[in-house]
Structure 1
Amino acid sequence: MTKNMLIDAIHPEETRVVVTDHNQIQEFDFESQSKAPLRGNIYLAKVTRVEPSLQAAFVEYGGNRHGFLAFNEIHPDYYQIPVSDREELLKAQAAEDRSQAATDDNQADGDDNATAETDGEADGETDGDVSDIGGDAHEEAAPAINMRALHRKYKIQEVIKRRQIILIQVMKEERGNKGAALTTYLSLAGRYCVLMPNTARGGGISRKINNGADRKKLKTIVGKLDVADGMGLIVRTAGAQRTLAEIRRDFQYLTRMWEDIREKTVSSTAPTLVYEEGNLIRRCIRDLYSKDFDQVVIDGADSYKEAKTYMKLLMPSHARKVKQHAGDAPLFKEHGVEDKLAAMFNPTVVLPSGGYLVINPTEALVSIDVNSGKSTREQSVEKTALATNLEAAVEVARQARLRDLAGLLVIDFIDMDENRNNRAVERKMKEALKADRARIQVGRISSFGLMEMSRQRMRAGVLEGSSETCAHCNGSGMVRSVESRALHVLRQIDEDAGKFSEGELTVHLPQDVAVYLLNNKRGQLHEIETRTGVSISVEIDNELNAMEISITLPDNSESSGRMEGDPSAAVSDENGGKRRRRRRGGRNRRRGQGAENGAEDGDEEVESAAEDSNSDANDADVSADSATDSTGDGEDGEDGDDEDKPKRRRRRGRRGGRNRRRSQDATTEGEADSEADAEADTEATDDDAAAPQKIILEVATEEAEEDAEEAAEENTDAMAEDAPAEISETDEEAESEADEESDGKGKPRKSGWWRK
């Protein structure tokens, strides 16, 4: 008895599958009834939103959340463009598919020689090399990402419309707040082949088949199959040693399945499920079973019948290997598997030589630390490190499959002095990862002794699917000590009691914190009561966990939370420390602005930055303008909802601000007159605050008369914003007098300005 597949389906809530080789677990998969996998399912879906900024669409397909469909995953068949353009695009797509298929075949044919050369020159390779390993049926069918480039002259908002009906397949499962990743390039996986109904690449061989003789034989077999135009077929690694009859039977089975999907799609209404990938038992028999298995033992009558029927359909000659468990003891307990599965919840994995691994999943990556432990068989430190690292490489690959460690994995091997030993560990790791169905990218061992690898997520991990976050530590694995929690509570009591002068403050705490506080901090509690006049009561609440606290304030309001504090408090304090500069005119000053005011917006931002840097110099001007601001704010409050009277922006930044105007006008002839006029305006404002303010326009005489007219127009716009809605006749007379004076004195100067 060497290799067995054990299926525990006695409980309908959960199905577990284990592959054992010499009583060691090599593969493990499980499926929960409450959360069935979606990957590989085909849905008739509806586009709900097209997002130009992401060049993607959000699709309703029947899942818990809307799926994410990138533009490069949309087939040109769904483009809403003229028929002639679509036909031309499809021809180019078909030619590109065939070219890519030929390129893949040529690259795969040279993999054997390249691998041999790589092994011979391993010592001279750089640390930046990354190798692609593994991949399941859908990964084998997926074309290279550069082939699905955004199609030249189109954007998603031009060719895909809201409420459009499309046929999609799930590529990645929903996880957390993320929806499923979708594609319109469909692939149907069989035992030996993968059929791609809308990818016109013809017949091909899996990139994972590296043997030259097998590839040559399979190319001959594929050439004899009648693959329709517009379709693609890839022979999987399981079909490397199969005959023409076996591959043709699998191809015909997939073709009939596609016809059934097409008929169901025509008669369905979106969103609906059109094709289901299959339950766990079917997937494992299809993807994991091979002629090397001695038996497939199933615990559960209904599951046994289903597996027997599917095996007769897939491989009739192997149906006799499917057996039903007849023992009194549970299947996994009888084969000694249950205890080994329970060990997967432990972060420590012991190696045969005495070393051990420590596996710690984190938010960003999964860290795996290799330790020598009790491994002392070898005669030198270097040999001990090499032997332990070689064992760890095999065990890391196995644990990654069992626990479904996905994302970025960082392995900290024991440091070795000789470079050839590092290369030996790398080769061992790549060899162990070849049996993995997930898509994996492996790097080199760096100078720090770290190896980085990324692994595709195949399903929910063991810990993620079978555990919950600890309510006490929030998943961190540690809680604060009793002394630290008691001091945190004491500071919180002091802060809350200081807000009141009388009443009773009640604190509800876990038992250990309350006992410590009453026994060791009674004097501090009494001092707070004496200082604030608030009576403090400490009560034990057994319903609170170790890190929770609840406080009832004297005004009968309750405050509860955790003793770690709020992580957003530091951010809010930093943002709250800067007082935002109030911009005049309210929100209505932006209404009615068209595209022609874009330059004015830029000037306003430049002006705001200049005012912030020179805030000390502008304090006098801000205080002098406060009366006008209050008048303007009052009018905004009355007429803020009236959009028929849009207000324009004031552009002071272009002319340099108040300080610059003062320095320039200090040498002009009319400085004394302007100061007298300003003082008169100020006195008039003090006498009658409700009266409209007088605006006097002064124009210097240096530039052309045309510039004076432009400045007068800008001054009129500015007066419409900051002055009262109705301009008095006195203001108009002042403007006309200023214009007559400028005509009499000669050419006006460029920097005309107005003051209140």
Structure 2
Amino acid sequence: MKRIIVHCEQEITQMALMEHGQLVEFTIENSQGRQLVGNLYKGRVVNVLPGMQAAFVDIGLKKNAFLYIDDVLHPHLEKQPKVKPSISQLLQAGQEIVVQVMKEPLGGKGARVTTHYSLPGRWLVYMPHADYIGVSKKIELEVERNRLKQIGDQARLPGEGLILRTVAEGESKEAIQSDIQLLRALWIQIEERAGGMSAPAQLHQDLSIIERLVRDMFTPQTERVIIDDLVQKEEIASFLSRVLPDWANRVEIYKGSEPILTHFGVKEQLDRAFEHKVWLRNGGYLVVDYTEALTVIDVNTGKYIGSNTLEDTVYETNMQAAEEIARLLRLRDIGGIILIDFIDMDMERHRQDIWDKLELLMRSDRTKHLILGWTKLGLLEMTRKKVRDHAMNPFTEPCSVCKGTGRINSRL
């Protein structure tokens, strides 16, 4: 079963998702700097760069947003031209355009934006101009996939697009149709605001961390939401009573004497999970290193000496490593290219088992990812969508001595 632990301070809200007592996701949001992903803006094109097939758009933030040509073309691939036009044929400097943030500003880069608008609801994602219906790949039963697709097809208007989410499995036709109607009405409001405002201007802000928690993470397997703030507790219960009335009683206030994150073991697990060296149950360990766009994870047997053959020792360590890596990717919110240096195995069957294990465990990850397979050098390569900084970055800062290299010069 799952538990969601929420700690509220004056300016910061921290949320932890626990599965069978193990921490698998952790999110922080500052009330003064809420996440931008999902927000919609009316922006003004500042400059168009044909050589990069991109444009920079002023949406009212410190840095101009980046808009790539693929995010300007029609969201339905079948309706895109076979040969991409120059972006200068689609956009001109000074033009006003509605865009949605799809990636947070990271480092010195501005936000990445798109014109492929999407509004997530409880059961589905509404896309006003996509003109197609999709069903979550995690819904495997073909009969259910066809049922959901038929419901969506009957409820959508010409040109609209829908993606039925995993939680829609088994949900009633009436609930799904209600979700569509609410999101359609929200989009109409956004269009009306855009028509009456000058750029740059914010048109829509995505839900707060508390509301997103209910929308995206509350499932029948969620046993409890435990929170240490009475006002926020009532907010969650109120939100649940509107969208999931039968589950409103699953929210409870924490009354313990010690801090909530300490009481439920969140702080202890966070401290271990964000170490440079992460230990496995059998005495093996992982070493995690970052660059801006690449994360490398090295697997080592460490203290584990095994009991049978070397191949068995390596295989068991790699299997435990696959479990821990799947958890760390979600918990640290690692994005970009990921290379995993598992310990070399002689048997091809074992290599396939590792791939299958990681693929199975990653099905619980709500962030888009792709396991590409083994490289010629024996590394397992995968990608995971990067939309924001790592989960602990708000609590850390670069070392003033090594500047983030992890090494200090002792001889000059």
**Normalised-by-shorter TM-score class:** over 0.9
**Is the 8 Å Cα contact of residues 204 and 222 (structure 1) preserved in structure 2?**
no
Asked if the contact 1:438–1:458 (Cα under 8 Å) also holds between the matched residues in 2, the reply is: no
* 1:185-204 alignment runs, 5 A limit: 185-201=116-132, 203-204=133-134
The corresponding residue for 1:59 is: 57
Q: Write out per-residue CA displacement over residues 238-285 of structure 1, whole angstroms, 9 at most, x where no aligned residue.
A: 112212122122112212211221222222222111111111111121
The alignment partner of 1:27 has SS state of strand
What corresponds to 2:393 in structure 1?
464
Structure with more relative contact order (C-alpha pairs < 8 Å, separation 6 or more): 2
User: Mapping of 1:256-267 within 5 angstroms?
Assistant: 256-267=185-196
Distance 1:259 1:232, change over 3 A: same
Of Structure 1 and Structure 2, which has the larger fraction of its residues in helix? 1
Deviations 1:425-469 (A, max 9, x none): 110011111111222121223454311111111321034332111
Any unmatched runs of 5+ in structure 2? none
Classify 1:275/1:251 alpha carbon distance in 2 versus 1 (closer, same or farther; 3 Å): same
State the AA in 2 paired with 1:163.
G
Counterpart CA distance in 2 for 1:438 and 1:205 is: 16
2:205 to 256, 261, 276: 276
Corresponding residue SS for 2:222: coil
**Secondary structure of 2:46 counterpart:** strand
* 1:440-455 to 2 correspondences below 5 Å: 440-446=369-375, 448-455=377-384
Structure with greater strand share of residues: 2
Listed one character per residue, the Cα deviations across residues 372-395 of structure 1 (whole Å, up to 9, x for unaligned) are: 122234311111111111111111
1:595 — aligned with what?
none
- Structure-1 residue corresponding to 2:30: 32
Structure 1 residue corresponding to 2:340, chosen from 406, 411, 432: 411
Cα distance between partner residues in 2 of 1:161 and 1:360: 41
Match in the other structure for 1:8 = 7
Q: How does 1:147-158 map to 2 (within 5 A)?
A: 148-149=80-81, 154-158=85-89
What secondary structure does 1:264 align onto? Answer: helix
The structure 1 residue matched to 2:218, chosen from 289, 292, 304, is 289
Task: Compute the displacement of 1:479 (Å).
Answer: 2.1
- Quote the offset at 1:149 in angstroms: 4.8
Which letter does structure 1 place at the counterpart of 2:280? Answer: L
Tell me the distance in 2 between the aligned counterparts of 1:357 and 1:414. 11
Letter matched to residue 350 of structure 1: W
Where does residue 175 of structure 1 map in the other structure? 106
Aligned with 1:217 (options 138, 147, 163) = 147
Alignment of 1:706-721 (within 5 A): none
Residue 174 of structure 1 and its aligned partner are, at CA, apart by 0.8
CA distance in 1, matches of 2:392, 2:329: 13
Q: C-alpha displacement at 1:170, in angstroms?
A: 0.8
Distance in 2 separating the partners of 1:351 and 1:188: 40
1:148 CA displacement = 4.2
**Mapping of residues 450-599 of structure 1, within 5 Å:** 450-481=379-410, 484-485=411-412
- Measured in 2, the distance between the counterparts of 1:279 and 1:15 equals 10
Whether the 8 Å CA contact 1:404–1:458 is kept in 2: the answer is no
Counterpart Cα distance in 2 of 1:444 and 1:49 = 39
Cα RMSD over matched residues? 2.0
Match of 2:68 in 1: 70
Change (3 A) 1:72 1:446: closer
Counterpart of 1:710 in structure 2 is none
Contact 2:26-2:391 at 8 Å conserved across structures: no
Specify the code of the residue in structure 1 equivalent to 2:19.
Answer: D
Q: Distance in 2 between matches of 1:149 and 1:325?
A: 56
| Conserved 8 A contact 1:410-1:453 | yes
Measured after TM superposition, the shift of residue 72 of structure 1 is 3.0
2:276 aligned residue: 347
Write out aligned runs for 1:594-743 (5 A). Answer: none
> Following the alignment from structure 1 to structure 2, what is the Cα–Cα distance between the partners of residues 72 and 364?
20
Read off the aligned partner of 1:229 and give its amino acid letter: P
**2:102, 2:114 within 8 Å by CA — same for their partners in 1?**
yes
Aligned twin of 2:48: 50
Aligned partners of 2:76 and 2:130 also within 8 Å? no
- State the AA in 2 paired with 1:182: V
- Cα distance between partner residues in 1 of 2:241 and 2:374: 47
SS of equivalent to 1:224: helix
Structure 2 match to 1:432: 361
Inter-partner Cα distance in structure 2 for 1:433 and 1:268: 43
- Gap runs ≥5 in structure 1: 76-92, 94-141, 486-756
Distance 1:326 1:367, change over 3 A: same
Q: Kindly provide the amino acid, as one letter, of the partner of residue 420 in structure 1.
A: R
Of residues 255, 259, 262, the one that matches 1:330 is 259
Aligned partner of 1:439: which letter?
K
> 2:169 corresponds to which letter in structure 1?
A
SS in 2 for 1:30: strand
Distance across 2 between alignment mates of 1:380 and 1:447? 25
Residue pair 2:105, 2:388 contacting (<8 A) in 1 also:
no
Cα distance in 2 for partners of 1:377, 1:155 equals 59
- For residues 342-361 of structure 1, what are the alpha-carbon distances to aligned partners after superposition, in whole Å with 9 as ceiling and x for unaligned? 22331111111221111111
Shift in CA distance, 147/390, structure 1 to aligned 2, threshold 3 Å: farther
Q: Secondary structure at the match of 1:290?
A: coil
Kindly state the Cα deviation for residue 42 of structure 1 after the two structures are TM-superposed: 0.5
Q: Quick one: distance in 2 between partners of 1:164 and 1:151?
A: 24
1:369-388 equivalence runs, <5 A: 369-388=298-317
Going from structure 1 to structure 2, the CA distance change for 1:460 and 1:143 (only over 3 Å counts) comes to farther
The amino acid across from 1:197 in the alignment is P
Q: Output one character per residue of 1:48-80: Cα deviation in whole Å (capped at 9) or x when no partner.
A: 2122222322111112211111233225xxxxx
Q: For residues 515-546 of structure 1, give each alpha carbon's deviation from its aligned partner in whole angstroms, at most 9, with x where no partner exists.
A: xxxxxxxxxxxxxxxxxxxxxxxxxxxxxxxx
Partner SS, residue 263 of structure 1: helix
> Whole-Å Cα distance in 2 between the matches of residues 159 and 326 of structure 1?
57
CA–CA separation in structure 1 for the residues paired with 2:399 and 2:371:
33
Instruction: Report the AA paired with residue 58 of structure 1.
Output: F
2-side partners of 1:307 and 1:395: how far apart? Answer: 31
Contact 1:71 1:150 in 2 (8 A): no
Aligned with residue 365 of structure 1, among 271, 277, 294: 294
How far does residue 286 in structure 1 lie from its aligned partner after superposition?
1.0
CA contact (8 A) 1:73 1:148 kept: no
TM-score normalized by the length of structure 2: 0.94
Identity %: 33
Quick one: distance in 2 between partners of 1:173 and 1:235? 25
